[in-house]
Amino acid sequence: MNEFDQFVKHKLKAKYYIRVDFLGWINFPDHWVLRTTTKRRVFKRTKKYHVSEVLNSYLGLLGHGNIYKIRDKLLNMYYNKLYILKAL
């Protein structure tokens, strides 16, 4: 068991527990999954505030997980919109 499991089992004395939802991620013993609400928020805010600071902030968050498809979709959406705005 990892340190988190040891803490929950021995210090908190929990017999049954579900992996925690922490900082936009659902944590499992062997991997992390981005919450659906976090994923929706990323795309919604990137569309609403089309500035590089927002994109870089979310890319920093997404860099902590194995989420290549989401990152590629986000970058394609951002640069396609940027290309269209420059063409106008």
| pLDDT score of 86 | 64
Distance CA 2, CA 55 (A): 33
| pLDDT score of 23 | 80
Distance CA 70, CA 25 (A): 14
DSSP assignment, residue 44? Answer: H
Q: pLDDT under 50 in the chain at which residues?
A: none
Distance CA 37, CA 29 (A): 21
36-52 per-position pLDDT tens digit: 888 999 889 888 887 88
